[in-house]
Amino acid sequence: MTLDEITKQFATAGSIGKIQPHGGGHINDSYHLVNNQENESDYLLQKINHYVFKDVDLLMNNISMVTYHITDHLKKDNQKDLNRRSLTIVPTTDGALYFKDPDGNYWRIFNFIKDHVVFEATSDPELAYEGARMFGSFTNMLSGINPSDLGDTIPKFHSIKWRFSNLKESIAEDAVDRVKLVRDEIRYVETSIGLMSKIQELGEKGSIPLRVTHNDTKINNVLFDRDHKGLCVIDLDTVMPGYVHYDFGDGIRTFTNTGEEDDEDLNNISMDLDLYRAFASGFLESTREILNKTEIETLVYAGLLFPYIMGVRFLTDYIAGDVYYKTKHKEHNLVRAKAQLKLAMDGESKLEKTQEIIKGLV
């Protein structure tokens, strides 16, 4: 089927003119549907990556529940421009949340939020604060949903114990004879696993509650207006039950790193404390009223866990022979692993300082 034929399966308003590729996402193929009628909305058509998200029913039901809840919350808050403050699923002409084409591909349509700005990274504390405030507000708005009403779109996504188990299996198998090249990285991972398991163990004990979490809190998953104020949190595919630490930790990993995720020069990589303070301030401004004492006191460990867990994942894939992540060269996963583990080490060295920052904010 052509994109035009697929678009016609959905209950869009107006008349769709141009269909043009949109964004640079790594998971789903996205297209901007330009409406010929100026008074009608544009739309975002996406082909869902069925390899990553195997249960499309569960995925779309999660997103439907979350977007409906957010819109309802914004209405009660008397927010204006609702169509710019939340994603809205456009149903098919049959009232379904997605369309499956004859080739077995799955498609969906959202409203398109015009006049937005996206940032791939930032060194500006004000922007970090605003991005964090948006993610915190997202968590706060969804605190009224029972997490058990949502399913896991990617099971065990942030389970460090499971990721560590996968690493040990890849080390034991040593499929492409690479273990000898990463002895130092393995040693660090094994030494720090106790510290990095704190959050999961707190959850297993019931000391911190499950919440509805975004689980992919990079700055490019926030749409900003032209004044750099937050409009909307996007990319809801990984919204599922989790701990608030997951959103805080991945934000710290991606907002505060002074280097690149795959920086070959480890001297470039550190956890910027000004950006840390800005992110923590924005996130806590939106969430402190719903978090319990243990959640707040242990947020600091999340900033260590997330570069560590990504380092473990990259290291596992490198040892296994680069079977999961796309790579640009044969050492790419090793470069990524070293960079992420360096960020985790830097975070460990600054643990007292980051604890002071969070204490000062609460």
Convert the pLDDT of each residue in 167-177 to its tens digit: 999 999 999 99
φ and ψ at 235, to 5 degrees? Answer: 60, 70
C-alpha 68/C-alpha 59 separation (Å) is 14
Give 325-358 as a DSSP string.
S--SSTTHHHHHHHHHHHHHHHHHHTHHHHHHHH
Please give the tally of structural domains in the chain.
2
Q: In terms of Cα–Cα distance, which of 338, 209, 326, 348 is closest to 261? A: 338
Q: Are residues 183 and 55 in the same domain?
A: no
Mean pLDDT for 71-94 is 90
C-alpha 147/C-alpha 144 separation (Å) is 9
327 within some domain: yes
71 within some domain: yes
Question: Is residue 158 within 8 Å of 242, Cβ to Cβ?
Answer: yes
234 within some domain: yes
Domain boundary among 70, 88, 111: 111
352 within some domain: yes
**Tens digit of pLDDT for each residue in 250-293?**
999 999 999 999 999 999 999 999 999 999 999 999 999 999 99
Question: Is residue 154 within 8 Å of 52, Cβ to Cβ?
Answer: yes
Domain boundary among 86, 111, 136: 111
What does the pLDDT read at residue 24? 58
Q: Which residues face 223 on adjacent strands?
A: 232
215 within some domain: yes
Question: Is residue 44 within 8 Å of 109, Cβ to Cβ?
Answer: yes
Q: Are residues 249 and 162 in the same domain?
A: yes
115: region left, alpha or beta (phi > 0 left; psi from -120 to 50 alpha): left
Question: Is residue 47 within 8 Å of 105, Cβ to Cβ?
Answer: yes
Length of the chain measured in residues: 362
Q: In terms of Cα–Cα distance, which of 310, 308, 309, 296 is closest to 355? A: 296
Q: Are residues 330 and 221 in the same domain?
A: yes
- Count CB atoms within 10 A of the CB of residue 300: 26
Q: Are residues 318 and 212 in the same domain?
A: yes
C-alpha 56/C-alpha 348 separation (Å) is 39
Structure-model confidence comparison of residues 26 and 281, the more confident one: 281
Answer whether residue 104 shows pLDDT above 90.
yes
Mean pLDDT for 118-142 is 96
Q: Are residues 197 and 333 in the same domain?
A: yes
Q: Which residues contact 287 (CB under 8 A, 6 or more apart)?
A: 136, 139, 140, 244
What does the pLDDT read at residue 362? 85
What does the pLDDT read at residue 245? 98
Structure-model confidence comparison of residues 58 and 37, the more confident one: 58
184 within some domain: yes
Answer whether residue 296 shows pLDDT above 60.
yes
What H or E segment, with its residue span, contains residue 170? helix 160-173
**Tens digit of pLDDT for each residue in 219-235?**
999 999 999 999 999 99
Q: Are residues 186 and 230 in the same domain?
A: yes
Mean pLDDT of the chain: 95
Q: What domain range includes position 43?
A: 3-111
Global pTM? 0.93
What does the pLDDT read at residue 25? 52
Looking at residue 13, which CATH number applies to its domain?
3.30.200.20
What does the pLDDT read at residue 325? 87
Looking at residue 271, which CATH number applies to its domain?
3.90.1200.10
Q: What percent of the chain clears pLDDT 90, i.e. is strictly above it?
A: 90
C-alpha 168/C-alpha 155 separation (Å) is 19
What does the pLDDT read at residue 27? 59
Structure-model confidence comparison of residues 201 and 75, the more confident one: 201
Q: Are residues 87 and 151 in the same domain?
A: no
What does the pLDDT read at residue 100? 97
119 within some domain: no
Q: Are residues 279 and 219 in the same domain?
A: yes
Answer whether residue 26 shows pLDDT above 60.
no
